[in-house]
Structure 1
């Protein structure tokens, strides 16, 4: 068992509080917001009329989806960065987001009756499998994984652009919103699916930290201490892909949450280890705050949530690249 650090517990508590505050603001602000005096009764089923409609149909499913998708992306990024020993790693590196976008585009063209989340999940899974087999050793080599991921992402983007440009001119705007990541169409089914996946993946992921810590010392050292490197790496990657795939199916390929959430948690806690729960809570907070801004901030109101995470994440990625370069790690 990894000892529980006081800093990590304090960080998790404060992050949960921040998520609750942002969630309250999401439900109560704006013209359709539920007044704070009515919010408790609405949450516990005692409200009707507008308050019930906003909570059950309009903002409630969107908020719950934001929390669950953010937690799944944070968890996914944690596992991926741990097994690849790369702070710049995330499921996006293996082309998962690009594959999801191509899946949506292809199903929209060839099988218009198939829901977009199904196409996204299929495309994400296909991209992951291609990278897995192209690397020759699964995901053992970070360099091969990144190179294969770049190639798969390029091919997926080419497919998407072809469909948008040639076949789906009329539906291009709607498809573009999904491809960048959006919570506008979140519903109860999305909440149910992401909730079930999180309940299954999170406990499984919490059994891996000890093995992953040993894996960071190298495969030979880990094997000498009784850890199967290939089995641990495969389990972590499979859980990471399942979590990211569920998130993508619900909200589209939201960029940079899986990359930034683990690193923010690690830097605030000041630990070399990336905790599963702190990263998941950080991802949830990022998504809720981004969605709150997309609903209420004048300059960005109405934009897909993925646009906000893309902009903020790009700035953070630049900072992280400079930081790692100065430390001689890149």
Structure 2
């Protein structure tokens, strides 16, 4: 098998996954790098678990301060970084694939801002009655529907999607600011940190929520992989080959919205992971379609790196991780806008 020639790996009769040597090398390399960074996250700093204690601590032998670090401080935070990064990345990949638009990520179209607004409203106005994850899902769905309706052309026009997304994100931000202002002081302080996109004070309940979403939704994304590859060639050809473009697009967007909402519910609206991770994975692996595995691993890597920097790097220490991803992702968005403008697609 050559580096770029795909080989189909079949999982029963329903799923045929194209695998390339380049893609597998990339997946294993990123997995190893994430594991190294995970060890660094758990062991660095004054509160870190010493490396020679880490194997025993991870196998249930931790006690005292080491148990507190693993079970309360850094363990849940690390798992949330890995899972939320994967969820955001696959969500962005699905959006970009079904719209054939590299700019159509949940960040750009205002979906994550809408999820943040829904979560904010649920946490302050309907606390106890509406769970925050439900509010995040409702906000994400509302934002996606507004963008789809306001463009007049769905998600097919990059320029219309960007303009509509800016408007929807602005409305969501206005709602968030209103919620922060009218909320009680303690609630608003905690909410402000969440809305910046933060992994601090995460618990195993947060990790379980986004982990459960991945267990259900990643296989769903993989099941649609073959049809998504057909959609990249155009709706007419996809329909002729049995891809059912409209139905596949609808269910792909449902999965994408659910993944983004799950990530936002536990970590806040972390920006630009969903925009950059699919592009990085696709450029390196040269894989067709959504490339679910490599994209998920790339998203995990980006968020784990950002969180490690937020914990240990002197200049950005203790900043919400969403600020770091927004800084880097904003530059990448600028690059994409210039490239698409030069190509005449905007």
The normalised TM-score by structure 1 is: 0.92
Whole-angstrom CA distance in 1 between matches of 2:33 and 2:57: 21
CA RMSD of aligned residues (A): 2.2
Check whether the contact 2:116–2:264 (CA below 8 A) recurs between aligned residues: no
Q: Which residue of 2 aligns with 1:119?
A: 135
**1:94 deviation in Å?**
3.3
Distance (Å, rounded) in 2 between the aligned partners of 1:132 and 1:273: 22
Q: Which of 116, 119, 129 is the matching residue for 1:104? A: 119
State the match for 2:221 in structure 1: 205
Give the alignment partner of residue 269 of structure 2, picking from 253, 256, 260: 253
Selected match of 1:179 from 167, 183, 195: 195
User: Quick check: 2:117–2:136 contact (8 Å CA) kept in 1?
Assistant: yes
In structure 2, the CA distance between the partners of 1:193 and 1:94, relative to structure 1 (3 Å rule), is same
- Equivalent residues in 2 for 1:57-68, closer than 5 Å: 57-68=72-83
Instruction: State the alpha-carbon separation in 1 of the partners of residues 209 and 123 from structure 2.
Output: 21
Counterparts of 1:284 and 1:189, CA distance in 2: 19
8 Å Cα contact 1:139-1:233 kept in structure 2: no
Q: Return the alpha-carbon distance in structure 1 between the equivalents of residues 336 and 168 of structure 2.
A: 24
CA distance in 1, matches of 2:287, 2:215: 26
TM-superposed deviation, 1:85: 0.4
CA–CA distance in structure 2, aligned partners of residues 246 and 270 of structure 1: 28
Asked if 1:164 is matched to 2:180, the reply is yes
2-structure distance, mates of 1:128, 1:205: 19
1:195 matches 2:211? yes
Unaligned runs of 5+ in 2: 1-15
Q: Tell me how far 1:81 sits from its aligned partner.
A: 0.4
In 2, Cα distance between equivalents of 1:322 and 1:143:
12
Instruction: Please report how far the alpha carbon of residue 256 of structure 1 lies from its aligned counterpart in structure 2 after TM superposition.
Output: 0.1
- 2:60 matched to which residue of 1? 45
1:130 shift after superposition: 3.7
Matched, 1:218 2:231: no
The yes-or-no answer on 1:27 pairing with 2:48 is no
Pairwise CA distance, 1:104: 3.2
Q: 1:279 matched to which residue of 2?
A: 295
- Superposed CA deviations along residues 269-314 of structure 1, whole A, max 9, x for unmatched, are 2446441111100000011110000000111111111001000111
Contact between 1:177 and 1:304, CA under 8 Å: does it hold in 2?
A: yes
Residue ranges of structure 1 left out of the alignment (5+ in a row): none
Contact 1:265/1:274 (<8 A) preserved: no
Partner-residue secondary structure (3-state), 2:108: helix
CA gap of 1:221–1:270, structure 2 versus 1, over 3 A, is: closer
Q: CA deviation at 1:243?
A: 0.6
Distance 1:7 1:252 in 2: 33
Contact 1:140/1:233 (CA < 8 Å) preserved in 2?
Answer: no
Tell me the matched-pair count.
Answer: 330
Q: Alpha-carbon deviation of 1:46?
A: 1.7
Q: What's the CA shift for 1:320?
A: 2.5
**For the Cα contact (< 8 Å) 2:43–2:50, is it kept in 1?**
yes
Match of 1:12 in 2: 27
Secondary structure at 1:106 match in 2: helix
Query: Using a 3 Å threshold, how does the CA distance of structure 1 residues 79 and 20 change in structure 2: closer, same or farther?
Result: same
In the superposition, relative to structure 1, how do residues 288 and 77 fare at CA in structure 2: closer, same or farther (>3 Å)? Answer: same
Matched, 1:36 2:51: yes
Residues 171-217 of structure 1: per-residue CA shift (max 9 Å, x gap): 54432211121011211111111111101111111122221121122
Return the alpha-carbon distance in structure 2 between the equivalents of residues 323 and 146 of structure 1.
15
Q: What's the CA shift string for 1:46-97, capped at 9, x where partnerless?
A: 2211111111111000000100000101111111100010111111233222
- Counterpart contact for 1:76–1:258, Cα < 8 Å: yes
Cα distance, 1:146–1:254 mapped onto 2, change above 3 Å: same
Within the candidate set 307, 313, 326, 1:291 is matched to 307
